Structures are given as C-alpha cells and as structure tokens.
Amino acid sequence: MDRMEVTETFAGISLPGHLHTKESLHFAATFPFRATDVLIVTYPKSGTTWMQEILTLLYSNGDVLPAKTIPNWMRAPWLEQTYFRDALRDTAGHRLITTHLPAHVLGPALQQSRAKVVYVARNPKDVAVSFYHFHRLAKFLPDPGSFDAFLARFLEGTVQYGSWFEHVKGWLGQRQALDIFYITYEELHQDLRGAAERLGAFLGRPLGPETLGSLERHCSFAAMRDNAMVNYSLIPAEIMDHSQGRFMRKGVVGDWREHFSPRQTALFDRVYRERMGDAGLRAPWTLA
C-alpha cells in the first residue's frame, strides 16, 4: 500500500503520508472556500463521522438514501487528503467538507469566504483512548506502543495530527472571526435531537419533526455501527486491520475511566489545567 510508513510534516504537525502529500496539503491551505460551503472541523476521534452523518441527514431532509449508498468520506471529503480534488462535487448548492487541520492554517481563507464551520470537540481523555485504539486498527498510523507511552505523546502533542490542546484552543480562538458553531460529542450524546435543531437553525435549515425523527434513528450508534457506508468496513484489511477492533468501537462517554490509572488521571488533569487555563470551552465533561 502507498506511503504507509511515510509521515508528512505540515504547519508543525505530523500527518500520515498514506493520506496526505505536500501537494494535497498545499491545495488545502490555499483552497478557495465559498460562502455556501459547510466545513466540519475536528481533532481526530472527536465525533467527525457522527457529524458527517448528522449533516448528511440534515441536508437530505431525513432521506436515508445518500447515507446508505455513498461512503461518508465521499459525502463530506477531507480537504487535506489526496483524494479530495476528485471527491469534491461541484454542486451549485452547499458542499460538505471535513478537516482536521488547525485554525491558523484555514482561519484566514474561511474568514474571507464566510463559509460556515461546525467544530466538534470531545473530552480529551476519551479522545486519547479512542485514538489509541484507532492506532491499533489503522495501518497508516504508527504502532502506539503501550497506552502509557501513547498518553505521554498525546499530552506532549507529538502524536500524528498534533496537539489536542492547540487544536481546540486555535479553533475556539476563531469565535469572533468566523461563522462557527461549537458543539461537543457529549452534547450530541445528551440530546441529539436538540443538537440537530440547533444545527438546523445555524445552517438556515429548520428541521421538521419527521426529519428529526429520521435523523435521530439513523445517527444512533447502533444504526451507524451497522451501516457499511460509515463504519469503515469497506476499507481493505491492508489499510485497516479489522481483526484489531471496530472503527465504531464503543461510542460512549467516559470510557477513559476503564483505561486511566490514578497516576495517569492526575498527570492528565495537571496538564489540562496548565494548557487550557481559561480557554473558554463550555465543556460538559468532568475531568476527575
């Protein structure tokens, strides 16, 4: 498989060379957004796929056909990945695009274009656990080693895709500059219907009860786990080793409690306080 062992470095962060090249990253950094574009922005494992599915259902008015027939990475392609140019549909209407890139790379172009941004954040302890398991599955990511070693690199910000803290703080810092909607994975869990209603209002597409009902059913963890267009079972075993686990792994809030030792929890809490300070994230998670 292509470039499985290659790491690209861009804007100070490491990215898997299987998915990114210098050229694809340059294309992303200079991409001419339109005011009608909707960009889903996340640090990996924060609910990216979930938001892709929610926005698919929102724009299809609850019709499940696109979500059941087109893979998520084609419905909302990743801006920075090599296949983006071919995947982007040149529709007259909205274009759904996904990215993990930091705010300092995309902020100016987004501001100029007035494209809409949906930023999803998740409790970083759960992100670390989910990312660790994903490393075991994804052959284009380095061997994570032990959870303890991985967690140390996650806290340092030397894992692929860079620092969670910098990503979240960078995008939170765009509050005034961009047309941006912030939501957390935990809020989606708590009230998916309410979150979808607020998203509909933000995107200028108020949702009726039927659309909301269909969206709720189709975007449940169980429905998505069983949908081949979104559970990554279509990806060949050379790229994702499905014997190591599922992409749709647990889909719960607070799984970190099953993984963190008291020492790891204390270390994480200290680094979180130091790095986040008063960053202003309305975080519905408890760190303790």
Interface residues with ligand A3P (CB under 6 A)? 42, 44-50, 126, 130, 133, 219-221, 224, 248-251, 255
What is the torsion angle, in degrees rounded to the nearest 10, for the CA atoms of residue 50, residue 51, residue 54 and residue 56? -110
Other Cβ atoms within 10 Å of 157 Cβ, number? 17
Nearer to ligand A3P, 79 or 113 (CB): 79
Task: Of 75, 117, 119, give the one whose Cα is nearest residue 229.
Answer: 75
100 is catalytic: yes
Closest distance of CB 15 from ligand A3P, Å: 15
Place of tokens 């032990």: 146
Helices (H) and strands (E) in the chain, counts: 14, 6
Nearer to ligand A3P, 37 or 53 (CB): 53
Task: Of 161, 102, 105, give the one whose Cα is nearest residue 130.
Answer: 161
Nearer to ligand A3P, 113 or 130 (CB): 130
Spatial contact of 12 and 72, defined as CB atoms under 8 Å apart: no
Tokens of 30: 């200079």
Q: Which of 18, 20, 100, 167 is catalytic?
A: 100
Closest distance of CB 48 from ligand A3P, Å: 3
Which secondary-structure segment (H or E) carries 197?
Answer: helix 192-202
Closest residue to ligand A3P: CB criterion: 251
Nearer to ligand A3P, 113 or 126 (CB): 126
Closest distance of CB 164 from ligand A3P, Å: 12
Closest distance of CB 44 from ligand A3P, Å: 5
Other Cβ atoms within 10 Å of 69 Cβ, number? 9
Task: Of 123, 102, 103, 104, give the one whose Cα is nearest residue 282.
Answer: 123
Other Cβ atoms within 10 Å of 232 Cβ, number? 19
3-class SS of residue 267: helix
Nearer to ligand A3P, 94 or 189 (CB): 189
**Burial letters 40-53, b for 16+ CB under 10 A, else e:** bbbbbbbbbbbbbb
3-class SS of residue 38: strand
Closest distance of CB 134 from ligand A3P, Å: 7
Nearer to ligand A3P, 8 or 187 (CB): 187
Closest distance of CB 215 from ligand A3P, Å: 11
Residues annotated as catalytic (active site), given as ranges? 100
